């Protein structure tokens, strides 16, 4: 096909194929164990699949209400109140989305204008910056470093100007597996208290947190909640990333703007899945057991690789585990991730790709949302390296 119009100018000139696609493809070509992309290699619950199927058979197959099926919004309100002590009204403060990615894009699109500045923390999940750019915003970066990946709040304070419109945080954090503590939230609350900054809090791993730590949801901090979009994803919680189902919580005034954009981005999310999730959420055991479930996987994986030449970094949440290979080679993390995939048949993600200016501390991210036997096979390989 001829290229037409030839003069089209990319709005995202720096964006190419993501590292997740590249590494998964490389894993496939090399028949490598794929611990790169973040998805489980086990199935979602048969009960939940049955509930979705049941909804389909009942004929719940047409457009859902724009903001989402009410029974699902009610269950989310109940869960949020019981876990974090904050009331969000299903009618006006909760919207169901087609995954967290759509919710993040929609939140950014609903408030960011040409020239607005948005502060993000790197290493960062990869969908924030393109969404900011597509909406004319400018991304400012605060870097975090291994092994603690702590946020330097003094640096954040210095970056804030009249143009700062939004700050995006993510806890538990992909790719590092760190979590924000209460003191972080209080520091942030103080910094933005006399500004008009809107917060976007990516909490998709809210139910995957270890060692008895509490998830510090923004919803627990009134000074933050009043100006925040809080975003979560059922895909992470119920092992069905392919269903692309998530939600956004926000105070009414922000939610009004969010829904104006949402209705023209997707209008509404998948109806039978929403009905199935609404039923499934009624049993809190279906999500409260997730911390233990993944902590066992983390502990298994770490116990299996503890005598290898890789160094285990602390992981407090998410289904990712970072390993440093600085005792093995000083190759760049991207080259080493490729070598591990081709030569040793195990795929991971290099951490440098999550930074704006490539920071390479010789660290790779491994996804441990895998069956026990997959983790054992992976560890066997890593022990031989």
Ligand X SMILES: Cc1ncc(COP(=O)(O)O)c(C=O)c1O
**Residue (308 or 318) nearer to ligand X, CB:** 318
**Residue (100 or 112) nearer to ligand X, CB:** 100
Those residues with Cβ within 8 angstroms of residue 137's Cβ, 6 or more apart along the chain or in another chain: 108, 112, 113, 114, 115, 116, 117, 118, 165, 166
Query: Distance between CA atoms of 252 and 153, rounded to whole angstroms?
Result: 28
Total number of residues binding ligand X (CB under 6 A)? 14
**Residue (36 or 110) nearer to ligand X, CB:** 36
- 227-246 residues in contact with ligand X (CB under 6 A) are 233, 235, 241, 244, 246
| Residue 176 is a binding residue for ligand X (CB under 6 A) | no
Those residues with Cβ within 8 angstroms of residue 118's Cβ, 6 or more apart along the chain or in another chain: 108, 112, 128, 132, 137, 138, 139, 140, 164, 165, 166, 167, 168
> CB of 38 within 8 A of CB of 175?
no
- CA 347 to chain CA centroid, nearest Å: 20
Task: State the minimum distance, in angstroms, from the CB of residue 106 to ligand X.
Answer: 11
- CA 174 to chain CA centroid, nearest Å: 6
> With 0-12 CB in 10 A as exposed, 13-18 as middle and 19+ as buried, what is 153?
middle
> With 0-12 CB in 10 A as exposed, 13-18 as middle and 19+ as buried, what is 75?
buried
Considering only 27, 96, 100, 378, the residue that binds ligand X (CB under 6 A) is: 100
- 289-348 residues in contact with ligand X (CB under 6 A) are none
Task: State the minimum distance, in angstroms, from the CB of residue 234 to ligand X.
Answer: 7
**Residue (36 or 170) nearer to ligand X, CB:** 170
**Residue (202 or 333) nearer to ligand X, CB:** 202
Cα angle for residues 242, 211, 239 (degrees, 5° grid): 10
Q: Pick the stretch among 7-15, 28-36, 96-104, 136-144 that binds ligand X (CB under 6 A).
A: 96-104
- CA 326 to chain CA centroid, nearest Å: 27
**Residue (100 or 108) nearer to ligand X, CB:** 100
Cβ-closest position to ligand X: 99
Task: State the minimum distance, in angstroms, from the CB of residue 319 to ligand X.
Answer: 9
- 155-174 residues in contact with ligand X (CB under 6 A) are 170, 174
**Residue (301 or 320) nearer to ligand X, CB:** 320
DSSP code for 243: G
- 25-84 residues in contact with ligand X (CB under 6 A) are 38
Considering only 90, 99, 137, 350, the residue that binds ligand X (CB under 6 A) is: 99
Q: N- to C-terminal Cα distance for the chain?
A: 47
Q: Pick the stretch among 7-15, 75-83, 94-102, 278-286 that binds ligand X (CB under 6 A).
A: 94-102
Residues that bind ligand X (CB under 6 A): 38, 99-101, 125, 170, 174, 202, 204, 233, 235, 241, 244, 246
């Amino acid at each position: 096909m001829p290229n037409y119009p030839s003069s089209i100018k990319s709005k995202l000139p720096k964006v190419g194929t993501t590292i997740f696609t590249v590494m998964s493809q490389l894993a496939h070509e090399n028949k490598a164990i794929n611990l790169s992309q973040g998805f489980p290699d086990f199935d979602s619950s048969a009960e939940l699949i049955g509930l979705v199927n049941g909804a389909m058979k009942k004929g719940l197959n047409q457009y859902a209400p724009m903001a989402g099926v009410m029974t699902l919004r009610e269950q989310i309100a109940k869960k949020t109140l019981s876990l974090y002590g904050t009331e969000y009204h299903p009618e006006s403060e909760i919207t169901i989305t087609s995954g967290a990615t759509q919710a993040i894009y929609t939140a950014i699109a609903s408030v960011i204008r040409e020239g607005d500045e948005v502060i993000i923390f790197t290493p960062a999940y990869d969908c924030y910056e393109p969404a900011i750019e597509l909406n004319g915003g400018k991304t400012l970066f605060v870097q975090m470093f291994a092994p603690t990946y702590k946020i330097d709040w003094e640096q954040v304070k210095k970056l804030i100007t009249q143009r700062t419109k939004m700050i995006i945080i993510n806890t538990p954090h992909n790719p590092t597996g760190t979590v924000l503590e209460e003191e972080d939230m209080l520091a942030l609350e103080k910094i933005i208290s006399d500004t008009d900054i809107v917060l976007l809090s990516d909490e998709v791993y809210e139910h995957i947190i270890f060692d008895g730590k509490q998830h510090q949801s923004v919803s627990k901090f009134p000074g933050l909640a009043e100006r925040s979009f809080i975003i979560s994803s059922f895909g992470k919680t119920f092992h069905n990333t392919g269903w692309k189902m998530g939600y956004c919580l926000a105070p009414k005034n922000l939610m009004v703007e969010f829904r104006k954009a949402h209705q023209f981005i997707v209008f509404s999310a998948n109806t039978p899945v929403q009905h199935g999730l609404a039923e499934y959420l009624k049993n809190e055991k279906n999500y409260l057991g997730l911390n233990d479930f993944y902590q066992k996987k983390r502990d298994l994986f770490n116990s299996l690789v503890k005598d290898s030449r890789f160094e285990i970094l602390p992981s407090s949440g998410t289904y990712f585990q970072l390993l440093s290979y600085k005792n093995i080679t000083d190759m760049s993390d991207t080259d080493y991730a490729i070598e591990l995939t081709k030569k040793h048949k195990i795929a991971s993600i290099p951490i440098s790709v999550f930074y704006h200016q490539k920071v390479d501390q010789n660290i790779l991210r491994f996804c441990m949302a895998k069956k026990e036997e997959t983790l054992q096979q992976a560890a066997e390989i890593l022990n031989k390296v």
